[in-house]
Structure 1
Amino acid sequence: MTKHFAHVVRGSGPGLLLAHGAGGTVAGNFGPILDDLARTHTVVGPDYPGSGDTPRSATPLELDAVADELVAVATDAGLDRFAILGYSLGTAVAVRAATRHPGRVTALILTAGFAHPDNRMRLALDVWRELLDGDRRLLAKFLTLAATGERHLASLSAEAREKAVDELAAFIPAGSPEHVDLVSSVDTRAELAGIAVPTLVVATALDGLVSPALSRELAAGIPGAELAEVAAGHDIGGEAPADWLAVVRRFLGRS
């Protein structure tokens, strides 16, 4: 696996490590809230292999290795201890980082996450993976259908809907096949009871890709975890950035 993930370092203050989602990037998943987070925190955002400027991996990705490399990027950037804000696949990366590096991780914020894919999510992953070998615009249509909240999708004009599909088709990172395969392999259920840091789970209540029930399962499995719900589909950063930022800031202010 490629080491030394490309990354951004922004702001100053307590450490905050970002873990993005499959088929995403730090800019793509956290862009709408990144500047605000950097006003009060030193934010370190690595891109996984095949995303952003990080070269694609020649071998399958493993959760341990991805988690270890994110922690290494944070420590190399000067953060001794830090909270982790994980999104989608990044929630599993964050949980694994906390269990493998308990002396480094001070808090977890797990957004649109899961401890393991349920059957609905596995079917979506199968379609996603197969479409990566074909028509990228068809894949973008599928992901838009699955990941966009019903309310947000209904608000789009035909022109805006087609523009969103085109932009997503152009955005799909080269490393997406490895990312999707990694999602399929995730199972952190046995680790949840051992999480001993303050944890906020943010469920995306209108999510058709990663069910909010999976976020509730995460929260139920982690001792003392808080659960917040935001009325958004999987793309919470695009649909409800202010609401997402508000719950994250409230939690960071207490932890």
Structure 2
Amino acid sequence: MSTTLTSTYARTVRKGSGGPGLLLAHGGGGSIESNFGPILDTLAAGHTVVGVDYPGTGSTPRATQPLELDELADQLVAAADAEGLERFAVLGYSLGGNVAVRIAARYPERVTALVLTATFARAGQWLGLITDLWSELARREESELLARLLVPLTLSPRALEGLTDEQVEAAVRATAASFPPGGGDHAALVKGADLSADLARIDVPALVIATTADRLVPLDVQREVADALPGARWAELATGHLPFAESPQEWAALVTGFLAELPTRRG
């Protein structure tokens, strides 16, 4: 794996070589490593995988201005350019699903397929209120309170109730320690998000992978994505919002199985 500077602030992670291009768009408050690390080797076995850490996470410095979805999309495409990928599929997780959809809308001639996991077409009231609180707690540097908000929202009820009190407290501490400096900036992007118009005009093979025990992005919100995306397939994972933590092998199998059915065309 190599890390290279591809713009004024975005840093790129690449893994694998020789296979079709696959861009990774991570979730808010995450990074390529934290969101895709458990499945990177599996994805890279058959693809040239490229991902960009958003400003304020991983090794990318925090932005000095509010983030814009178009800019995150363009940064990821710029990373593909730097790695010599002309065409590529895009795997978007959570907020990264919005980035992936925007890439497909802005660069339709370059995107071969979309895989969207635990994502949303529009923020609505539920996500709007949660991410407002997320952004404010991050601004105040209240990392433990933010962790106590997000741990029960991101773990499935089964996973959470299977923990002892000590394990829950350890999960809260670990989550609080993992928050990147730019996590609140990422959360602020969710407010008012509406990708419905973008989804309606996308014409590539698409798979929507729903996390059915998700309390951060509820199942009906995820279903809106598939309903708005013409011809999208639907698959389900019995996890909360963190498939890479609860069912990484099953998640990887859904992604690679779908991509394996696409016509072979190198990036």
What TM-score results when the alignment is normalised by the length of structure 1? 0.96
1:8 counterpart (1, 8, 13): 13
2:87 maps to which residue?
81
Q: Where does residue 127 of structure 2 map in the other structure?
A: 121
The within-5 A match list for 1:206-245 is 206-245=213-252
Count residues in correspondence.
Answer: 254
Give the CA deviation at 1:194.
Answer: 0.6
User: Following the alignment from structure 1 to structure 2, what is the Cα–Cα distance between the partners of residues 32 and 160?
Assistant: 21
Equivalent residue number for residue 46 of structure 2:
40
Q: CA RMSD in A?
A: 1.2
Which residue of the other structure, out of 103, 109, 122, is the alignment partner of 1:97? Answer: 103
Which blocks of at least 5 consecutive residues in structure 1 are unaligned?
none
Runs of 4 or more off by more than 3 Å in structure 1?
A: none
- Distance across 1 between alignment mates of 2:143 and 2:223: 32
Q: Is contact 1:63-1:186 (8 Å) kept?
A: no
The letter of the residue matching 1:184 is K
Q: Distance in 1 between matches of 2:173 and 2:40?
A: 24
Contact between 2:136 and 2:184, CA under 8 Å: does it hold in 1? no
CA distance 1:18–1:63, change in 2 (3 Å): same
Deviation per residue, 1:71-99 (Å, 9 max, x gap) = 11111111111000000000000000001
Indicate the SS of the match to 2:172: helix
SS in 1 for 2:136: helix
Q: Is the Cα–Cα contact under 8 Å of residues 128 and 192 in structure 2 kept in the other structure?
A: no
Residues 151-174 of structure 1, C-alpha deviations (whole Å, 9 max, x = no match)? 111112222222211111111010
- Between the two proteins, what is the percent identity of the paired residues? 51
Distance 1:23 1:135 in 2: 14
Shift, 1:3, TM fit: 3.7
**Equivalent residues of 2:114, 2:204 under 8 A apart:** yes
Identify the match of residue 69 of structure 1 among 71, 75, 83: 75
Tell me the residue number matched to 2:258: 251
| Deviation (angstroms), 1:4 | 4.5
Alignment partner, residue 136 of structure 1: 143
CA distance in 2, matches of 1:230, 1:99: 27
Q: Give yes or no for contact 2:132–2:188 (8 Å, CA) kept in 1.
A: no
Q: Report the residue type matching 2:31 in the other structure.
A: T
Aligned residue identity for 2:157:
E
Residue 180 of structure 2 corresponds to 173
One-letter code aligned to 1:252: L
Alpha carbons 1:3, 1:69 under 8 Å: kept: no
Structure 2 counterpart of 1:30: 36
Can you list the C-alpha shifts for 1:187-228, whole angstroms capped at 9, x where unaligned? 111111111110000111001101121221110111110011
Give, as a single letter, the amino acid of the residue that structure 1 aligns with 2:69.
Answer: L
Tell me, in whole angstroms, the C-alpha distance in 2 between the residues paired with 1:69 and 1:40: 24
What's the TM-score, normalizing by structure 2?
0.92
Paired letter, 1:61: L
